[in-house]
């Protein structure tokens, strides 16, 4: 089974392809191909719409007696998805497109008609210019005038755009300058307020140091007072030993006696130490 997956088959040395008989096929044989609808169409039998790109199993054949500069034209047979009516269309090498032939009608496509009309007008114009030289001169004059008008309009549009861009830049610069001025004013105002606050603080501290009354929120003046001092008595009875200490000063812890320390540590005292105890 593995040999069916390879691309190269084995050919014996004595292989002669001319000895292989050719199978007989009809002159205009059909092939079954898988394709998509090349354009949107409507079935003329039941009115069903078939959109472009729908897949079909189609039969393909070569059109006899029709070629375009040696290019073969092919015909395809499909069936309607609703009523199974046969629909045929063929290739159109001239317009690089497909042409509905039987069983369906191509949906209206306005851009194709516009292209066809433009092509017809161009051919008619060329034919008229070949037969009438004055008409050709008139057409060239009209074309040159139209080109000049187009160039003038383009120049006006460019000038207008440049003017609008310049105006936008000037306006933006004006807005930026105004914003900078506002920021400068705000900064100066902030500096003045800070200076006033510092001046007020200095006045308050100067009054507090001089002992003058300080204005409070209740409206009653209050004298600046020194922080209270606490006096404590030292171990000696001399009055010179009395010193002032801040209110938050803490007293030193009392010393423990040796006996209490010995009892806590579990040590026995001997001699004078025991007698003193």
- The answer on whether 124 is annotated among ligand-binding residues is no
**Mean of the per-residue pLDDT values of the chain:** 78
Q: What is the sign, positive or negative, of the torsion defined by CA atoms of 48, 52, 58, 60?
A: positive
CB atoms within 10 A of CB 63: 14
Span 110-121, pLDDT tens digits: 777 777 788 888
Q: What is the pLDDT of residue 270?
A: 55
Q: Is 27 annotated as a binding residue?
A: no
Write the pLDDT tens digit of every residue in 181-240.
Answer: 888 888 888 888 998 888 888 888 887 777 655 555 444 455 444 444 545 554 444 444
> Is 83 assigned to a binding site?
yes
User: Over the Cα atoms of the chain, what is R_g?
Assistant: 57
For 33-68, what is each residue's pLDDT tens digit?
A: 999 999 999 999 999 999 999 999 999 999 988 999
CA angle 23, 28, 29 (to 5 degrees): 55
Q: pLDDT grade, residue 274 (50/70/90)?
A: very low
Residue 43, annotated as binding a ligand: yes
């Amino acid at each position: 089974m593995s040999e069916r997956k390879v691309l190269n088959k084995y050919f014996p040395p004595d292989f002669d392809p001319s000895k292989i008989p050719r199978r007989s096929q009809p002159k205009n044989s059909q092939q079954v191909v898988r394709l998509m609808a090349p354009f949107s169409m409507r079935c003329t039998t039941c009115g069903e719409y078939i959109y472009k790109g729908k897949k079909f199993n189609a039969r393909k054949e070569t059109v006899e007696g029709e070629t375009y500069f040696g290019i073969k034209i092919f015909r395809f047979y499909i069936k309607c998805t609703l009523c199974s009516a046969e629909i045929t269309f063929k290739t159109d090498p001239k317009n690089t497109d497909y042409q509905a032939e039987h069983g369906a009608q191509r949906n209206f496509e306005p851009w194709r008609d516009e292209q066809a009309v433009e092509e017809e007008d161009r051919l008619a114009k060329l034919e008229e210019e070949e037969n009438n030289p004055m008409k050709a001169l008139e057409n060239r004059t009209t074309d040159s005038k139209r080109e000049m008008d187009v160039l003038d309009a383009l120049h006006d549009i460019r000038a207008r755009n440049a003017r609008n861009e310049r105006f936008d830049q000037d306006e933006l610069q004006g807005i930026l300058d105004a914003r900078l001025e506002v920021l400068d004013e705000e900064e100066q105002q902030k500096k003045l307020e800070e200076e006033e606050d510092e001046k007020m603080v200095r006045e308050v501290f100067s009054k507090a140091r001089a002992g003058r009354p300080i204005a409070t929120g209740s409206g009653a003046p209050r004298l600046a007072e020194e922080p209270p001092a606490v006096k404590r008595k030292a171990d000696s009875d001399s009055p010179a030993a009395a010193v002032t200490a801040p209110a938050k000063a803490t007293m030193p812890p009392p010393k423990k006696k040796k006996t209490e320390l010995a009892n806590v540590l579990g040590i026995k005292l001997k001699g004078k130490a025991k007698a003193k105890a």
